[in-house]
Amino acid sequence: MNTLTSSLKASARRAPLASARIPRASFRSSFRKYSTEAPPKSSNTALYASIGLALVGGIGYYAYSSSDAAATTVKSGAQATKSALKFTPTKVDYQKVYNRIAQKVDDAGDYDDGSFGPVLLRLAWHSAGTYDKETKTGGSNYATMRFEPESLHGANNGLNIARGIMEEIKKEFDWISYGDLWTLAGVAAIQEMGGPKIPWRPGRVDGFATDATPDGRLPDATQGQDHIRAIFYRMGFNDQEIVALSGAHALGRCHADRSGFEGPWTFSPTTVSNDYFKLLLNEKWVWRKWNGPKQLTDKKTGTLMMLPADYSLVQDKSFKKHVQAYAADEGLFFKDFSAVIAKLFELGVPESQWVTSEPWTLLSTNEEHESK
Ligand code: HEM
C-alpha cells in the first residue's frame, strides 16, 4: 500500500459514523523527533536468563503433555533463546514491530468499522487485566491466553481474531515475546487511532499454561460499581484510574456472537476521544427492548449502547466526578489515559525483567512520515 493510499485509508477510517468530527491525528504537527538508543546490556542479561529458564521449564512441561499448546511453548522458548543469542533487539527493532502492527491495524478491509485497533487493544487489556496484586499472579508477563482454558474463558470470546493477527507479526519477528507483542499492539492501536503516546518497554517472557489464572478475574459487564471496584482494586487501580481506563470504550463495539451485547459506544469507534464520557453524561440512556442481555441505548438515535457496568460510572458519586472531569477536558483524559494504560500493560512483570529502566515512546505512523 503506498503512502497516499494508506493516509487516505487512515483518514477514511477516522471519519466518524454519524457526526462531523475532524480527525484529530491530522492536526498533530509538533512531534518529538526520534533518536535511537540501545537498551543497557546488563538488563538484557536478566531477560535472556529468564528466557533460558523458560526453555528448560518448557521441556519439562512438554515431557508430560503432548498438547499443541505445550509444543508451541517449547518452540517459542527455543526460538527466543536462539534469537537472543543471535542479536540483541534495540528500540529500532521494536519500532519495526510497531510499524508492522500499525499497517495491520489499518489493513482491516470490511472488518467491523475498518480497523483492527479496538480488538487488538482488548487483547492487550485482557492479557494484563488478570493481575492480582496480593498474589502477584496474572498480568501481561506470560501471555497465557495462548493456552486453554484461558483462551476459552467467556470474557475472551472473539480474541482469537486478535491473537491470529498477532501470530502473523510473530512469524516475521520471531524474537519478540508474546507479552511484549500483545502489549505493543495495544500501544500501537491507541497511538494509531489518534490517542496519546503510551510509554512502553520490553521485557515480558513467554510462560506456560500452568501460569494461567482462573476464570472470573475480568469484569462482568452486567454488574455495577461494587463489582467494578472489587475487580480493579484487585489489580491495584483507584477510582480515577478505573474511570480513565473505561474511556477505552470510545473505541470498538460489542458483538452479539462474542459477549452477547451489541453495538458501539460512540459515533467514532476508531478514534480515541473523550466522547464516551460526553455521551455517558449528556445523552438520555434507556434500557434497550430486545431479545438480548440488559444493555442501555441512547434515546435520541437508538444506535449507541452502554453496558450496565459503563452506566454505573454515572450512578456512583466518586466515579461520576471523574467522568465529568474527562468529559470537560479531553487533554486531561489523554494524559491520565496514557499513564493508566502504561501501568495496566506493566502489571505482573517483575522489575528485574525490564530491558530499560525508563519506558520508551515509539513513533506513530504520522511521525514516521514526517521525520522522513
Ligand atoms: C468495567 C470494565 C469493563 C467491562 C465490563 C468491559 C466489557 C466489555 C465488553 C462486554 C465488550 C464487548 C466485547 C465484544 O462483544 O466484542 C468490550 C469491548 C471492548 N473493551 Fe471493554 N470492558 C471493560 C473495561 C475495558 C478496559 C479497561 C479497556 C481497555 C483499556 C477496554 C477495552 C475494550 C475495547 C477496545 C473493546 C472493543 C473491542 C472490539 O471492538 O472488538 N474495556 N468490553
In a domain, 2, yes or no: no
In a domain, 63, yes or no: no
- Which DSSP category does 291 fall into? S
* Per-block mean pLDDT, blocks of 10 residues, the chain (372 long): 42 41 35 32 40 39 40 53 71 98 96 98 98 98 97 98 98 97 98 98 97 98 98 98 98 98 98 98 98 98 98 98 98 98 98 96 88 64
pLDDT score recorded for residue 67: 47
In a domain, 17, yes or no: no
In a domain, 251, yes or no: yes
In a domain, 280, yes or no: yes
Ramachandran sector of residue 216 (left: φ over 0; alpha: ψ -120 to 50; beta: rest): left
Name the residue type at position 92.
Answer: V
In a domain, 327, yes or no: yes
Which protein residues touch ligand 1 with a CB less than 6 Å away?
Answer: 118-119, 121-122, 125, 158, 219, 221, 228, 245-246, 248-249, 251-255, 258-259, 261, 307, 309
What angle is formed at CA 193 by the lines to CA 153 and CA 369, rounded to 5 degrees?
Answer: 130
Dihedral through CA 320, CA 322, CA 328, CA 334, nearest 10?
-140
| Nearest atom, ligand 1, residue 220 CA | 5
Which tens digits make up the pLDDT trace of 224-257? 999 999 999 999 999 999 999 999 999 999 999 9
Q: Is residue 304 a contact partner of residue 264, using CB atoms and an 8 Å limit? A: yes
CATH number, residue 321: 1.10.420.10
Q: How far is the CA of 55 from the centre of ligand 1 (A)?
A: 33
Q: How far is the CA of 244 from the centre of ligand 1 (A)?
A: 13
In a domain, 325, yes or no: yes
Question: In this structure, what are the phi and psi dihedrals at residue 281, rounded to the nearest 5 degrees?
Answer: -80, -40
Q: How far is the CA of 6 from the centre of ligand 1 (A)?
A: 27
In a domain, 67, yes or no: no
Q: How far is the CA of 106 from the centre of ligand 1 (A)?
A: 20
Which tens digits make up the pLDDT trace of 162-198? 999 999 999 999 999 999 999 999 999 999 999 999 9
315: domain range? 225-335
Mutate to test the pocket of ligand 1, among 130, 254, 333 (most ligand atoms within 8 A of CB): 254
Residue 127 neighbours by CB distance under 10 Å? 33
Residues 6 or more apart whose Cβ sits within 8 Å of residue 228? 219, 242, 309, 312
Q: Which three cell numbers stand for residue 212?
A: 494461567
Q: Active-site residues: which are they?
A: 126, 265
Number of structural domains (the chain) is 1
Which tens digits make up the pLDDT trace of 8-45? 444 444 444 443 333 333 333 332 222 333 333 333 43
Question: In this structure, what are the phi and psi dihedrals at residue 139, rounded to the nearest 5 degrees?
Answer: 95, -175
